[in-house]
Amino acid sequence: MGAAIGYITNDIAIRMLFRPHHAKYIMGVRVPFTPGIIPKEKERIAGAIGKAVSENLMNREVLEKSLLSDEMLSKIGDAIDEFVATQSGNNETVEEFARHYLPQDDIVAMRENVTGGITKMITAKLQDSRLGESIARMATAHVMEKTRKSVAGKLGADILLQPVAQLIEGILAKHINEILHNNSQQMVDGLVQEQSGQLMSLTMSSLMTGHDEQVAQAKGGILSAYRVIITEHLPRILQDIDISAIIEQRINEMDMMEAEAIILDVMKKELRAIVWLGALLGCIMGTINALI
């Protein structure tokens, strides 16, 4: 009798944690213990869980320790090595490979943005540099060197030509700078577009094979970028993403039937143990009472 009472009362108590899901009324008076404890305290429980998770399970220190652990970095490195090994036998072009992940319009737009940015950067460097002076100086120096080695140079013609060379150097530098200023964007754009087209037409296997040093550098760069993102940007990301509020909102939006199913699925074994412990304790107490 004690075991039956212990079993039944514990089973009812556990069910009363979840049920009923809503308050029950008799003649306008709320029935005690309705709704169940968890539905009644759902908002408070949601807030407590959200706060506990954000402060203790998903804070900066815990995430950094996990995301920057040797095991995690090793997994990322292995994933990169696996990708390289897989693509070493892939005969798709870079553009065909990209189509698996991006629509064609996005690929074209990305290519135009990248080539446009590179063109602007190189053009600006050419227009702001003293490239005309450098080219003119090297050209006149080359001519003077050829003159000195010639028969005319042995007769001293290079000395006579030195003032003329300086004058020509200035004029040549001015014209080269003007040409670069007026035509550099068109020239650079054509070269960049050509190189971009060649890159997109390369096969993935040709990019991966025979370039072990470049692949190793790329792998190191990816791992370094990953470390920088975690160490420098993780705090801002966590600040922008209010984990506590997200968890609290998700629990509050959850239907009680769904919440009950999740909790029972996680703690089914433990809750059944409580029921059977109630039966065991009831049996012990009943036996002692009978003996007394």
Note the helical H segments in the chain: 2-18, 37-40, 42-52, 60-67, 70-87, 94-98, 104-128, 131-149, 151-154, 157-201, 204-208, 212-228, 234-240, 243-253, 256-291
Max CA-CA distance within the chain?
137
* Tens digit of each residue's pLDDT (9 = 90 or more) over 128-155: 666 667 776 777 776 666 666 665 555 5
Q: Where are the domains of the chain?
A: 36-285
pLDDT at 167 exceeding the cut of 80 = no
Residues 6+ apart with CB under 8 A from 281: 6
Please indicate, yes or no, whether the overall pTM of this predicted structure exceeds 0.85.
no
pLDDT at 157 exceeding the cut of 60 = no
The amino acid sitting at 25 is Y
Note the pLDDT of residue 78.
92
Per-residue CA distances from 155 to 140, 152, 166, 245 (Å): 19, 5, 20, 90
* Tens digit of each residue's pLDDT (9 = 90 or more) over 50-78: 888 888 777 778 888 888 888 988 999 99
**3-class state of residue 227 by DSSP:** helix
